[in-house]
Amino acid sequence: MANIEKFCEKYSLGKVIDTKKVSGGFMHKMFKVTTNRGIYCIKVLNPEVMARKNAYSNLAVSESISHLAKKNGISVSSALNIDGNYLTQVDDKYYMVFDFINGKTLEDEEITLEHCKKIGRILASIHFLNYQEIGLKPTIIKYKRLYDWEGYRKNSNFSKMPYKDTFLANYRKYNSILKRANERFNESNINQAVCHLDMDPKNVMWNNNNPIIIDWECAGVANPERELLEDALCWSGFLSNHFNEEKFIAVFKEYSKFRDIASIEWYSVICGNLVGRFDWLKYNLERSLGIVSNDSEETKLAEQEVMKTIDEINRYLELIGKMYDSIQRLIVPETKKYDLIIKKIIDNNNLLKRKSYNLITTGFTNTIYEVENYIVRICTDLNNEDRFKNEIEFYHKNKDNDKVPNLYVSDISKKIVPYYYEIMEKVNGKTLYEVWYKLSKEERKKVILNIIDILKTFHSIPVKEYDFSTYIKTKISELLNKCNISDELFDSLLVMCDTYFKENKFGIIHGDLHFDNFMYDDGRINLLDFERYMASPIDYDFRIFYRYAETPWLWASEKTDMLTVETDYQDIMKNFIENYDELRNIPYLEERLEVYSIIDLLEHDKDTTQLEKVIGKIKKLEEKTRS
């Protein structure tokens, strides 16, 4: 236990009258100390933290930042200078002393939009501080951290932990998510500014509705966008599971009045922000398991933090899409360009007259509006018109198929509006990406069987056959020329294609089968988006599903990307093959699927690593063919 009386006496703070612990803290301990000379807050620093390399210098830097903020008119609580230092050592303990602040921190239910606006304004002021003035330099960090989560499970203390079952239910997905979080962190960690880095409600005291920023120990030069995002989360109630979108966006909106946020790639910032949560989870696992601490009080606190952080990570993953959409609505000026178009469509179609509309998405190949119980898809990308017509053709030919949406109106005349458009049935439910990670093994198998039933309805349609081997070989040759690849292995692949694609089971295929195109509603499955439908061997429809075992997130939206991990998708192709006789009986099925995978890698993933993967796949095919 720290000897606060001895410290106060030694540094002339007065004779201690009363000592009261005011904060447990996650790292250090804080006490309200009343002496005959005044009232102070004295922070007793964690010895294990202080034993770390650079811990002392980092705290000294953070206090110099708090004094810089004070100098620039920001209301802060800064450590007192004791004998020329902000940190003072007595015996084996380090102390920091602050004047006692007569104020209070706010609970979530006390936080108003006005509080959030003030936080946005103060944060912008902090980010405007000139770090060069106090001799600091930017530090661009590149993360590649993946952790041995399995090792924590094997720790001898793990079985006694209250979080055991929760951890076991989640940890297998962590490195898949963390790998992508690292990539997005590195992409977005460009801008640098002075940051407080812990400005959540517990570190802002309010005196007569005026904020005073306390606890600057994490302060440094870092990425300001990530801090803006995290503070908006904290002040909108996310930490206590009471997220309020209006408060979240209020912080952003006020901040944006002072600093530009429109040019930032916010999706990368949002995903990259997960890195810190995984670091915090790792740290508290090690504290709770006795790897970095033997303090019983710290161990208990760490156990609670593990439970809390696992819950936060899960909730954060589900909130990514909503956060991104909220920020996009703020920073992308809402255009009325397509609102005029939808109004004309509504006024000229009896199905829609006098119905309200809502923009769902824009900026891709189509602009989509919800008009009460209908969906209106407008082909605003003129380069997509052929595919749009292709989809209309499919719906007309398959109007009796109850597993696909009804098409009520299609218009490619451009007489009413200068775009192709279609009015469709609104399909209820969520995309399969949104629910797959929540489904049991049995529920997933039912979904697969339902998908097979849907696919059979058009896979079984007779079509005119063609030389599919030549089609595939031409596709490979064109990609090799485009990617400027010359390797004799590919000559071998083209020869093998003559064997693999000699026999084919032709039908109509969807052409873009992934979970964003399936709607799930209480077990019912509907398939959407037939722009790429074509006559083809039916196994060609499974080329995306085949890659799901390695990278299922590549076809997910911003809403579901980080919810999607490969461990949830390992058995998909196995289940399709086991339960779809016509697919299973195709000669050289596995080899054909590998060839489709090679084409997809050449088409979309052209970096050196992927080329090595492609070459590895071809070598395996050669070995299999020889054997």
Closest by CA position to 208, among listed 119, 102, 365: 102
**111 plus 191 within the same structural domain:** yes
Query: What is the rounded distance in angstroms from the CA atom of residue 571 to the CA atom of residue 374?
Result: 35
Count: domains in the chain: 4
Two tokens at 403? 């597993």
Query: What is the rounded distance in angstroms from the CA atom of residue 417 to the CA atom of residue 122?
Result: 47
**248 plus 388 within the same structural domain:** no
- Under 8 Å between Cβ of 326 and 249: yes
Provide the mean pLDDT of the chain: 92
Query: What is the rounded distance in angstroms from the CA atom of residue 252 to the CA atom of residue 235?
Result: 11
Dihedral sign of CA atoms 618, 623, 625, 626 in order: positive
The pLDDT score that the predictor gives to residue 106 is 95
**386 plus 494 within the same structural domain:** no
Q: Phi-psi category of 521—alpha, beta or left, where left has phi over 0 and alpha has psi -120 to 50?
A: beta
273 has pLDDT over 90: yes
**Most confident option among 2-6, 431-435, 612-616:** 431-435
The pLDDT score that the predictor gives to residue 543 is 97
Apex 142 CA angle, 136 and 144, nearest 5: 145
Query: What is the rounded distance in angstroms from the CA atom of residue 81 to the CA atom of residue 68?
Result: 14
**398 plus 288 within the same structural domain:** no
The H or E element that residue 98 is part of is: strand 93-99
The pLDDT score that the predictor gives to residue 552 is 96
List the beta bridge partners of residue 407: 424
Q: Report strand pairing: 534-537 vs 506-509.
A: antiparallel
Q: Report strand pairing: 38-44 vs 93-99.
A: antiparallel
Indicate the pLDDT class of residue 61, thresholds 50, 70 and 90.
confident
Dihedral sign of CA atoms 587, 592, 593, 594 in order: positive
**377 plus 289 within the same structural domain:** no
The pLDDT score that the predictor gives to residue 25 is 55
**169 plus 214 within the same structural domain:** yes
Which residue segment(s) compose the domain that 35 sits in?
1-100
**32 plus 55 within the same structural domain:** yes
**263 plus 171 within the same structural domain:** yes
In three-state secondary structure terms, 264 is coil
Give the domain-ending residue among 409, 425, 441: 425
Give the domain-ending residue among 275, 308, 331: 331
554 φ, ψ (degrees, to nearest 5): -60, -20
Q: What is the mean pLDDT of residues 285-295?
A: 91
The pLDDT score that the predictor gives to residue 481 is 84
| DSSP state at residue 240 | G
**170 plus 269 within the same structural domain:** yes
**249 plus 161 within the same structural domain:** yes
Structure-token match 């499919």, residue found: 394
Interacting residues of 307 by C-beta distance below 8 A, sequence separation 6+: 162, 163, 166
Higher pLDDT, 379 or 338: 379
Beta strands in 462-517 (DSSP E): 506-509
Give the domain-ending residue among 84, 100, 116: 100
**141 plus 87 within the same structural domain:** no
Query: What is the rounded distance in angstroms from the CA atom of residue 280 to the CA atom of residue 379?
Result: 46
- Under 8 Å between Cβ of 367 and 380: yes
**84 plus 110 within the same structural domain:** no
Beta strands in 314-463 (DSSP E): 358-361, 367-371, 374-379, 407-411, 420-425, 430-431
The string of pLDDT tens digits covering residues 85-106 is 888 888 888 899 998 888 899 9
The pLDDT score that the predictor gives to residue 295 is 82
| DSSP state at residue 238 | G
Query: What is the rounded distance in angstroms from the CA atom of residue 552 to the CA atom of residue 514?
Result: 9
Q: What is the mean pLDDT of residues 2-24?
A: 86
- Lowest-confidence segment of 149-163, 193-207, 275-289, 607-621 by average pLDDT: 607-621
Indicate the pLDDT class of residue 1, thresholds 50, 70 and 90.
very low
Higher pLDDT, 375 or 607: 375
Closest by CA position to 560, among listed 514, 522, 512: 514
The CATH number of whichever domain residue 436 belongs to comes to 3.90.1200.10
218 φ, ψ (degrees, to nearest 5): -90, -5
The string of pLDDT tens digits covering residues 206-248 is 998 999 999 898 899 999 999 999 999 999 999 999 999 999 9
334 has pLDDT over 80: no
Q: What is the mean pLDDT of residues 401-427?
A: 95
Indicate the pLDDT class of residue 140, thresholds 50, 70 and 90.
confident
The CATH number of whichever domain residue 65 belongs to comes to 3.30.200.20
Indicate the pLDDT class of residue 202, thresholds 50, 70 and 90.
very high
